[in-house]
Amino acid sequence: MSAPRQRRPSASPTAEDIALFRAAMADVEPLTPHGRYLHDLPPPPPIPRSRLKDERAAVLESLTDPVRWDESLETGDEASYVRPGLPRVILRRLRAQWVAQAELDLHGLNRLEAKHELADFLLQCRRRGIRCVRIIHGKGRGSVNREPVLKLHVRHWLTQREEVLAFVQARPADGGGGAVMVLLRGD
């Protein structure tokens, strides 16, 4: 028996060789240019449209709420607030003994900007474990009609925040009628 005849590799493939090669490779997918296989990405998580709509509505409502300053929150010329159920002695201690660990200055901001800044500031303070802060809202001397616009808004917004336990007008050295000292809930 004679051994099967072996072909010697030629310098260039014949047309028959090219056709056979293409037929054998017909089902093969070429690699990406970088040589890696790209897996299909998982679909993105569903978007909770109803919840987002509710949150937007709540934000819009909170931004357009009228200022309702309850007379029971004011004591004389200085405004103060203590969350129901807490002793009023907190107010005296807050004004005389507590030291501000952080402060926020709202000078030059409009009502919407101030509300956003205040919310962000209180969130950061809560995350950092800060209990006592000073918020400077100004006395309104630069406002139209020289009325303290932010003063009433800030005090109203503070009464709506769960993390706020109490606030009192700052001492004269800390801003007096242009600032409030705020006691925040500890975790």
| pLDDT classification of 133: cutoffs 50, 70, 90 | very high
What pLDDT digit, counting tens, does each position of 65-110 carry? 444 444 334 444 567 899 998 888 888 888 888 889 999 999 888 8
CATH class of 81-184: alpha beta
| pLDDT in the model for residue 111 | 86
SS3 per-residue string spanning the chain: CCCCCCCCCCCCCCHHHHHHHHHHCCCCCCCCCCCCCCCCCCCCCCCCHHHHHHHHHHHHHHHCCCCCCCHHHEECCEEEEECCCCCCHHHHHHHHCCCCCEEEECCCCCHHHHHHHHHHHHHHHHHHCCCEEEEECCCCCCCHHHCCHHHHHHHHHHHHCCCEEEEEECCHHHCHHHEEEEEECCC
Residue 116: its pLDDT value, please?
92
In which band, very low, low, confident or very high, does the pLDDT at 141 lie, cut at 50, 70 and 90? Answer: low
What value does the mean pLDDT take over residues 24-36?
A: 78
Mean pLDDT value of segment 170-187: 87
Tell whether the model's pLDDT for residue 30 goes beyond 90: no
Taking 60 as the threshold, does the pLDDT of residue 119 lie above it? yes
Q: Structure tokens of 61?
A: 């409502």
pLDDT recorded at residue 120: 93
